């Protein structure tokens, strides 16, 4: 039986103890609350779970899902939703089927586990497209949705989450159909009024895509989607932690409003993440990396670059939040593991240290929260 010793992340606190691993599962937990060497022990946390990631380690879901999954595991993320950009519904459905087929082939390999696909669009508001290609958006229709999901509920294509804008014509029908099909609805790339966002939550929406970014903001006479995401417990709010997409003050507001149990730390990383590069090319466009954030170059000389995504792993974001004093180590790790696992209804299996859960675990040396070990199903990947 393999054993790990350290300060275990249990119920939002760090407690010295040991974990016994057998047959890929956590088989035993022994606490050592009075140990004298606790401060020198590594932090042992669940492997991180990324709900929103487009690429990593020079790979993306369509070109090399395996390379992406292996790269993520080496950076502490042990489960993820590969996120696809908008396309024509029929083509997007075919892409999803292809990626899900590749995910099945990876199921028994020592790599981050694919826990379903996330489609960011195509049923979003063009006025809030952000970095998404407006030309690839589609009008909301059940017929278009069925082309994406394919036969029956879409299980054969692994689609677990779809981001849509609740205010666009036909969105209500899509939400009802997605709830019926068992697909998570996340609200984003939207100019929704608060009433429209709340109605979507009552109809079954369960998420808010990258809080603050590409969504209607909080105003004292119109709370917008931001206001609802900060107050509606039915919505798990994704939040990007590079401290560029969301500044420190706004992140502190979100954490005060929702707590670590209501926020899911997501990378929204692009293909160049995890490579250390300063420039990369993807989808026919140049991307510039600055301090963990990816930008499109200015459209005109002297103009401002446009946010495109990040070049950070979740663990890098955890470090940024802790170093800036925005979150404690347990809070940051909870947002990156336990909360996203709960958002996916996988909290009995992932995102927590408990007997019977998968032994997807990370060991972090302190100070600095440097990754010393990453285990997937009890197997070391670094």
The residue annotated as part of the active site, out of 95, 268, 347, 360, is: 268
Token digits of residue 149:
């999901």
CA distance 259 to 240: 15
CA distance 239 to 289: 20
Q: CB neighbours (10 Å) of residue 186?
A: 27
Question: In whole angstroms, how far apart are CA 345 and each of 184, 236, 261?
Answer: 10, 11, 13
What residues have CB less than 8 Å from 275, skipping those under 6 apart?
A: 57, 58, 311
Does residue 268 have an active-site annotation? yes
Please, are residues 269 and 275 in contact by the beta-carbon 8 Å criterion?
no
Residues belonging to the active site = 268
């Amino acid at each position: 039986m393999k054993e790990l010793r350290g300060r275990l992340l249990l119920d939002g606190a760090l407690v010295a103890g040991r974990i016994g691993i057998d047959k890929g599962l956590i088989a035993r937990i022994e606490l050592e609350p009075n140990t004298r060497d606790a401060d020198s022990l590594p932090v042992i946390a669940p492997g991180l779970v990324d709900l929103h990631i487009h690429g990593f380690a020079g790979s993306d879901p369509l070109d090399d899902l395996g390379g992406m999954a292996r790269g993520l595991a080496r950076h502490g993320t042990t489960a993820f939703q590969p996120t696809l950009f908008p396309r024509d519904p029929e083509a997007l459905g075919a892409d999803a089927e292809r990626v899900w087929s590749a995910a099945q082939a990876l199921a028994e390999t020592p790599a981050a586990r694919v826990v379903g696909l996330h489609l960011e669009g195509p049923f979003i508001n063009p006025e809030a497209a952000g970095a998404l290609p407006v030309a690839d958006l589609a009008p909301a229709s059940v017929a278009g949705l069925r082309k994406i999901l394919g036969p029956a509920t879409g299980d054969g294509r692994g689609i677990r989450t779809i981001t849509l804008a609740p205010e666009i014509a036909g969105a209500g029908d899509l939400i009802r159909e997605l709830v019926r099909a068992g697909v998570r609805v996340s609200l984003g790339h939207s100019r929704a009024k608060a009433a429209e966002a709340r109605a979507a939550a009552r109809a079954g929406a369960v998420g808010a895509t990258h809080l603050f970014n590409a969504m209607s903001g909080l105003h004292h006479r119109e709370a917008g989607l931001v206001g609802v995401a900060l107050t509606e417990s039915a919505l798990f709010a994704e939040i990007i932690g590079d401290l560029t997409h969301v500044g420190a003050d706004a992140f502190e507001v979100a954490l005060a409003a929702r707590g670590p149990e209501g926020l899911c730390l997501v990378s929204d990383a692009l293909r160049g993440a995890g490579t250390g590069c300063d420039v990369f090319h993807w989808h026919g466009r140049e991307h510039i990396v600055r301090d963990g954030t990816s930008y499109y170059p200015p459209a005109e000389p002297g103009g401002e670059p446009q946010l495109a995504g990040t070049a950070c792993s979740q663990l890098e974001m955890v470090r940024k939040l802790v170093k800036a004093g925005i979150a404690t180590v347990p809070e940051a790790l909870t947002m990156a593991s336990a909360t996203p696992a709960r958002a996916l209804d996988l909290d009995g299996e992932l995102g927590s240290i408990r007997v019977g859960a998968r032994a997807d675990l990370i060991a972090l040396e302190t100070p600095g929260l440097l990754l010393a070990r990453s285990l997937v199903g009890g197997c070391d990947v670094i």
